[in-house]
Amino acid sequence: MTATAPIPQQSPSARLSAAPAAYPAPMYPHKATEEQHRERRIRSFQPRRGRMTNAQASALDRSWETYGVPIDGTPLDLRELFGGLPVTLEIGFGMGETTAAMAAADPSMGILAADVHTPGHGNLLGMLERDGSQNVRLAAGDAVILLRDMLPDASLAGLRVYFADPWPKPKHHKRRLVQASFLDLVLPRLAPGALVHCATDWEPYAEQMLDVLSASPELENLHPEGDGTGWLEPADHPDGSIPGYAPRPDWRPVTKFERAGIAKGHVVHDLLFRRR
């Protein structure tokens, strides 16, 4: 009998950065996501596999099996995954600096961090290794599939959407993540008292976020009277506040991306709502 040669296994970094032709999003370790990602639906993101550094690829290969969660439609047991910690879902963590800093500052909160940017996964894994943080899991792929198919109702203690793509052209506004249809998907997954925290440096998107979140009777604005920081001219708001927006909480670090936006004259808006 002729022995069958074992099929070589790709490393996590190779699997995470590979994609079949015409596939609209990164291919992650479980190919069960392919059909789900191919469904006809307007996406709020563009696939960004990008070029990984050696350090990012090495971190993926060392730590993906420990920290990584493939978005493959399989329901998650968050209590088991995070050892009973309350869990906040963060959608779009970029290169992971904010996620790593918040995880290190509050190890009592689990963070399920979802993104499609493979170098960002490697970068965040390297920072988690450096800090020794054990309260983060990285979800690789489309957050809509994660919310719709994998998270139980009332399972989240919070939702964070920081500096999501603002899709500034009017013809692309339909691609913005925070809109009524997205909120319909999110609300059942939020436990009573869950904190919804959004931040953006694109003022028209901030206005849309405020409209969408304020329209839900299931959410309470924690800063209905404004932030008191005087973002608008005093003649427009003599009290120095913008109704509905929140001051930046101490727990949200200022990122390099945010500082670059401020340097361009952008105004950063935070929104804090609580699930009733």
Q: What's the distance, CA 154 to chain centroid?
A: 18
Candidate from 97-101, 135-139, 181-185, 236-240 with smallest mean pLDDT: 236-240
pTM above 0.85, yes or no: no
Q: Is the pLDDT of residue 232 over 90?
A: no
Identify each DSSP E strand in 12-142 by its residue range: 68-70, 87-91, 110-115, 136-140
Residue 219 has pLDDT above 70, yes or no: yes
Residue 97 pLDDT greater than 50, yes or no:
yes
Q: What is the pLDDT of residues 128-163, one digit of tens each?
A: 999 999 999 999 888 999 999 999 999 999 999 999
- Mean pLDDT (whole number) for 114-131: 94
Biggest CA-to-CA distance, the chain? 88
**145 Cβ contact list (under 8 Å, min separation 6):** 33, 36, 37, 71, 73
Own/partner long-range contacts of 184-190 (Cβ < 8 Å, ≥24 apart): 185/144, 185/147, 185/148, 186/147, 186/159, 187/216, 187/218, 187/219, 187/275, 188/153, 188/154, 189/89, 189/147, 189/151, 189/152, 189/153, 189/154, 189/155, 189/156, 190/154, 190/156, 190/158, 190/159, 190/275
Q: Is 270 designated active site?
A: no
Numbers of helices and strands, H then E, in the chain: 10, 8
Q: Is 258 annotated as a binding residue?
A: yes
Statement: residue 229 has pLDDT above 70: no
The predicted pLDDT at position 28 comes to 43
Q: pLDDT tens digit string along 183-205?
A: 999 999 999 999 999 999 999 99
List pLDDT tens digits, range 170-180. Answer: 988 998 999 99
The answer on whether 201 is annotated among ligand-binding residues is yes
**Catalytic pick from 61, 106, 149, 165?**
165
Question: Per the annotation, does 256 bind a ligand?
Answer: yes
For residues 72 and 161, which has the higher predicted lDDT (pLDDT)? Answer: 161
Residue-level pLDDT at 23: 31
Per-residue pLDDT at 235 exceeds 50:
no
228 vs 198, more confident: 198
Burial class (CB in 10 A: 0-12, 13-18, 19+), 234: exposed
Least trusted range by pLDDT, from 79-83, 136-140, 171-175, 208-212: 171-175
Decide: 28 and 141 in contact? Cβ < 8 Å. Answer: yes
As a dihedral over the C-alpha atoms of residue 52, residue 56, residue 62, residue 67, rounded to 10 degrees, the angle is -100
8-67 pLDDT, tens digit per residue, is: 667 877 776 664 333 334 434 444 445 555 555 555 445 555 688 999 999 999 999 999
CA atoms 203, 208, 214, 216: torsion sign = negative
CA atoms within 13 A on the CB side of 72: 10
Q: How much is the average pLDDT of 82-107?
A: 97
Q: Residue written as tokens 């925070």?
A: 178
Q: What is the mean pLDDT of the chain?
A: 84
pLDDT band at 227 (very low <50, low <70, confident <90, very high): low
Query: 12 in helix, strand or coil?
Result: helix
Would you say 255 is a known binding-site residue?
Answer: yes
- Once rounded to an integer, what is the mean pLDDT over residues 215-243? 67
Q: Is 34 annotated as a binding residue?
A: no
pLDDT given for residue 169 in this prediction:
93
Specify the DSSP element, H or E, that contains 190: strand 190-200
Q: What is the DSSP letter of 48?
A: B
Return the number of other C-beta atoms located less than 10 Å from residue 217's C-beta.
7
Pick the closest to residue 141 from 2, 253, 39 (CA basis): 39
Counting residues of the chain whose pLDDT is more than 70, the rounded percentage is 78
